[in-house]
Amino acid sequence: MLARLHAYAGPVPRSPLALAALATVAVPGLDAFDVRRPAHPGTDFDIAVVIDSTRRRWVVRAPVHAAAGAALEAEVVLLEALGAAAEAGDLPFSVPRPVGFAHLPEGGRATVHSEIQGRTLALSQLTPGPGLSASVGRAIAAVHELPPSVVEDAGLPVYDAETYRARRQAEVDEAARTGRVPATLLRRWEQRLEDVSLWRFRPVVVHGDLTNERILVRDGEVSGILHWGDACVADPADDLASILVAAPPESTDSILEAYQLRRTELLDPHLVDRALLVGELALARWLLYGVRSGSADIVEDAVGMLEDLDAHTRSLELADAEPSLA
């Protein structure tokens, strides 16, 4: 393991042509005709879209550090199980299914999969009614209906509700030690984290990083979900958080209604409350990322958003506290 970590030291950016060469090694007979960078490449992987001589499109992903390489290996096992679930009709969308691998000289390997058709979900597309918003809700619910064994068998994390609440509390405590989180916001978070009734949920399979950039849409339906490296068994609110926070408010009822109808055993009266709280705590994690990476720009960006959130929540609390006028 130490040798593999050393081999990854100092990630070397790979050019699109280098990634195309890896794809031809990974998939025998693939005749690369063109290669392009994706719209959202990320930071943990070098990624390119390779177009072959028949115009078929392939995605090649190569990890840039040891942690990404280890995550990729677990993800490959998970994707095989998810692909089988999609074929069986348990998932109403496609997932990336690796069809070939190329070993990297610095250690680890690159994967290649056929590109899933669709465009990245634009949040402005979410409108009330039975269309795309409902499709998003059903897609998330289908993930949460999967058996936890698909995550366990891949060696990915499994948490119970109390352990997960403790993880959230630890994040808030660490953010508090930076001295950059408004005191009123900290008190509000701590009160919610100490309310154990809020955290009584049945852990389920979650994607773990389900932003709109991970969701592909085609013909008004969710066609695929990408980047499963953060999957685990944990709080279903995690997958709803970013969508509910960022989606147009008028679309959220349609998302939630479709989600609830697709779930078979949903006894979680505080699901939405936790999802909104998780959305807020994402700002604390962004602050911590800035602190850990030594990025003053990220820290200041996070602090600005935390201050805006604090002002917004205090104004709402003051409005609720005002006596109604006769």
The predicted structure's pLDDT at residue 1: 31
| pTM across the whole model | 0.88
Six-digit token string for 76:
């490959």
The pLDDT value given to residue 324: 53
Residue pLDDT, tens place only, 111-136: 999 999 999 999 999 999 999 999 99
* Predicted pLDDT at 141: 97
Find out whether 109 and 98 touch, Cβ atoms under 8 Å.
Answer: no
Tell me the C-alpha distance between 209 and 199, whole Å.
20
pLDDT of residue 106: 81
Q: What pLDDT is stored for residue 85 in this prediction?
A: 96
The per-residue pLDDT for 267 is 80
Domain boundaries, the chain: 2-115, 120-318
Q: What tens digit of pLDDT does each residue of 93-105 get?
A: 999 999 999 999 8
Give the span between the Cα atoms of 271 and 243, in whole angstroms: 13
- Specify the 3-state DSSP secondary structure of 224: strand
| pLDDT recorded at residue 5 | 32
Q: What is the CATH number of domain 120-318?
A: 3.90.1200.10
**What is the CB neighbour count within 10 angstroms for residue 202?**
14
What pLDDT does 23 receive? 95
Closest C-alpha among 241, 85, 237 to residue 154: 85
For the chain, which residues score pLDDT lower than 50?
Answer: 1-10, 325-326
Q: What is the pLDDT of residue 7?
A: 42
| Contact (Cβ atoms closer than 8 angstroms) between residue 41 and residue 47 | yes
Provide CB contacts within 8 A for 290, sequence distance 6+: 296, 297, 298, 299, 300, 301, 302
- At 304, which helix (H) or strand (E)? helix 296-321
Contact predicate 20/60, CB 8 Å: yes
Domain at 2-115, CATH homologous superfamily: Phosphorylase Kinase; domain 1 (3.30.200.20)
Per-residue pLDDT at 265: 79
